[in-house]
Amino acid sequence: MKLTNRECEVARWVLRGHTAKQIARALSISPRTAETHLKALMLKTRARNRANMAAHLLLKGLVEFSLEDLKGYGGEDEA
């Protein structure tokens, strides 16, 4: 399975715990577009929820992500 560049970007934001609205703001896209990318990720990973999707993405090595990606992350107010 291959992810698009944008799906990879969205996935990284999901792994940081962001909502679709926060992802949209961070990537300068509409919330609807963010939701479309999230749905595509859910379908591609056959996930039941975002936690399951995140686990699948990490375990299959579909998205590069490390603890450094969380550096500076302060919670809900970010993005």
pLDDT at 77: 47
pLDDT at 73: 57
Task: Measure the CA–CA gap between 43 and 37, rounded to whole angstroms.
Answer: 10
Domains defined for the chain, CATH in brackets: 5-62 (1.10.10.10)
Torsion of CA 52, 60, 72, 23, to 10 degrees: -60
Give the DSSP letter string of the chain.
----HHHHHHHHHHHTT--HHHHHHHHT--HHHHHHHHHHHHHHHT-SSHHHHHHHHHHTT-S---GGGGTT--STT--
Q: What is the pLDDT along the chain (79 residues), one digit of tens a residue?
A: 889 999 999 999 998 889 999 999 999 999 999 999 999 999 999 999 999 999 999 898 888 776 666 665 555 444 4
